[in-house]
Structure 1
Amino acid sequence: MAKTTSSSKAADWVTDRMLRAMIAALRRRPYAERIARFGRITAKAIGPLSGYTKRAENNLARIYPEMSATERRALADAVCDNFGRSFMEFQSFREFTDHAAALPPVGPGLPVLAEAAAAKRPVILAGAHFGNPEAPRHALSALGYEIGSLYRPMTNPYFNELYVGALESLGAPCFAQGRQGTMAFVKHLKRGGMATLYFDVSAGHERLPFLGHKAKTAISLAEIALRVDAIVIPVFGIRQDDGVSFQIEVEAPIPHTTPVEMILALNARLEAQIARHPSQWFWVHRRWKDGGQP
């Protein structure tokens, strides 16, 4: 067991150094070029080698059985390209913030957000792994909002340091998922804070419909919102045709009902975005890993 652990740590260290070297090399290139290059590298090399491309194709086949294999592969490549672009943007946080803030956010949730900030009422910005999931937080922070984040630590402990450093670049508090981190996150909200929390990962015990198939779904976001009377506002950073700018959409709040009903409402908002921009959701996730029967 100790030998396996040592081997795993060595592999993590090597992966971390390779990624850091690639990031350092690309940072010497102009911003738009580096983002596009890493997108292509992910689509053509990292995606196929890591299994991400195949996983995306399998998920697409489940949801869109009428889609041809050629169409699925092209869409999977576009998904990996967006994934790579998002990764490199996250590691170029200063320029990324400038691009995320270039177009003013739009949507009916904006005045609600302003009113909540003035009243110091808690706000959960419900994010999804779509477009660039960090774009809304960066764009809204540029308007003067202090927005924290509850995040899931990366399994590679070395690269997690780089990841957390990028998360904390906005100066707002960030909390690692887990008992202590979640407690701190709740306290932050109780003080009238704002923070992002993603709702589209395989977690929890509920199996709720998503894109027509049952998926393991956490309802904790809604449970926390009800506990601290936080407004839940869905936000999306939609990548534009130039590949580096975004439309930041701040949608109308999700009404407080039951936790399951609230998460179903969030799923419906994300499904509508996926219908409009199918290549921008991260189909590489194991969203239906337990079978996902309708």
Structure 2
Amino acid sequence: MKYREPTLSDRVSNALFVAVMRLVQRLPYERRIPAAGRMVARLAPVLGFTRKIRENLAIACPDLSEDEIKRLQREMPDNLGRMLAEIYSGEEFVARVRDLPIEGPGAETLEAAHREGRPVVLAAGHFGNYDAWRAALAGRGYRVGAIYRPMNNPLFNEQYVSTISAIAEPLFSRSRRGLGDMIKFLRDGGMVAFGFDQHFSKGAELSFFGLPAFTPLSAAEMALKMKADLVPIYAIRQPDGLSFRIYADKPVPHTDPETMTQTLNDGLEEMILKHMEQWLWIHRRWKGKRK
């Protein structure tokens, strides 16, 4: 994505967001995180989140009760607000998650790859707090990077990238240079996280919640190209709303990109059904293919 000059709207929205984050940061951590969650939940109707959540649930989970829909319309924005306050808490947040154990059948794979200097492609959805597991892996000495898509608002993108860089580095933008740097990092035995749960019009038509979902194959393709383990990973928010469980699922067997990515979709769907409020239901996940 090429840089563009920020518009007046960019400047206003960025200033408002920064002001809110600074205000929230004045609270002690244990009050700050739930306060941010409540704030975003209350703003959800104004921000359009309430409508988008309902629309996506009607597509993916048409049999949900009205009570459950309303619960998710409150609790998903609450999780989003908590996540934003956490990552903008910097070292306070990192200190709470960096010593967490890595659980699940993929934990041994990650440890062995780190010990042997082998590359790993981490598959991550917009679930829980996807920066918590980055901090936990980095805290164990793992060399973990992530690829990201620059945001449309250049001002927000600049300060957001600066903020998440403080949690773990390196970060690679979706650009020719970023891709080249990422491949070098993998060849040197690093771990790189790829997202796969947003609509990608040039992706493969796979299944997600039993519906056609155009899905990027990049995580699986990179794992095959680099002969790297492909490990799904999650940071699952716990009932207290402040702590996490870091879970690495079993590595996806190397077959072909479509089959491997469908396995990622299936695993994420299973995780979402256990913790519905922790997935970002405001994305337009189910859209037709662009012609």
Tell me if structure 2 keeps the 8 A contact 1:122–1:190: yes
Aligned residue runs from structure 1 range 242-261, under 5 A = 242-261=240-259
RMSD of equivalent CA atoms = 1.6
Q: Secondary structure at the match of 1:202?
A: coil
Paired letter, 1:61 = A
Q: Residue 62 in 1 paired to residue 59 in 2?
A: yes
Match of 1:162 among 159, 175, 178: 159
1:278 counterpart residue number: 276
1:124 equivalenced with 2:157 (yes/no): no
Conserved 8 A contact 2:213-2:286: yes
Q: Could you tell me which amino acid in structure 1 is paired with residue 101 of structure 2?
A: P
The alpha carbon displacement at 1:102 in A equals 5.2
Match of 1:186 in 2: 183
Residue 104 of structure 1: CA displacement? 1.6
CA deviation after TM superposition for structure 1 residue 213, in Å: 0.7
Whether the aligned pair in 1 keeps the contact of 2:217 and 2:258 (CA below 8 Å) is yes
CA distance in 2, matches of 1:207, 1:171: 33
Residue identity matched to 1:243: G
Letter in 2 for 1:234: P
TM-score (norm 2): 0.93
Contact 1:99/1:244 (8 A) holds in 2: no
Count of matched residue positions in the alignment of Structure 1 and Structure 2 = 285
Please report how far the alpha carbon of residue 225 of structure 1 lies from its aligned counterpart in structure 2 after TM superposition.
Answer: 0.9
1:19-77 per-position Cα deviation (integer Å, ceiling 9, x unaligned): 111111111101121111111111111x2112122111111111221223342122121
TM-superposed deviation, 1:142: 1.1
Structure 2 CA distance, aligned partners of 1:64 and 1:240? 23
Structure 1 Cα separation of the partners of residues 125 and 184 of structure 2: 23
Question: What is the CA–CA distance in structure 2 between the aligned matches of 1:103 and 1:171, rounded to whole Å?
Answer: 15
Runs of 4+ aligned residues of structure 1 deviating over 6 Å after TM superposition are none
Where in structure 2 are the equivalents of 1:227-238 lying within 5 Å? 227-238=225-236
The residue identity in structure 2 corresponding to 1:15 is S
- CA distance in 2: counterparts of 1:86 and 1:149, whole angstroms: 17
| Amino acid corresponding to residue 32 of structure 1 in structure 2 | E
Residue 122 of structure 1 deviates from its aligned partner by 0.6
Equivalence for 1:48: 45
The alignment partner of 2:281 has SS state of: coil
- For residues 132 and 163 of structure 2, what CA distance do their matches in structure 1 show? 13
Give me the identity figure in percent: 40
8 Å CA contact retained: 1:149, 1:196: yes
Gap regions ≥5 residues in structure 2: none
Residues 102, 245 of structure 1: 8 Å contact kept: no
Give 1:254 shift: 0.7
For residues 71-105 of structure 1, what are the alpha-carbon distances to aligned partners after superposition, in whole Å with 9 as ceiling and x for unaligned?
21221211111111111111112121122235422
Normalised by the length of structure 1, the TM-score is 0.93
Q: CA deviation at 1:173?
A: 1.3
Whichever residue aligns with residue 270 of structure 1, its letter is L
The 8 Å contact of residues 130 and 281 in structure 1, kept in 2 or not, is answered as yes
Unaligned regions of 5+ residues in structure 1, if any?
none
Which residue in 1 is equivalent to 2:266?
A: 268
- Partner SS for 1:253: coil
SS at match of 2:147: strand
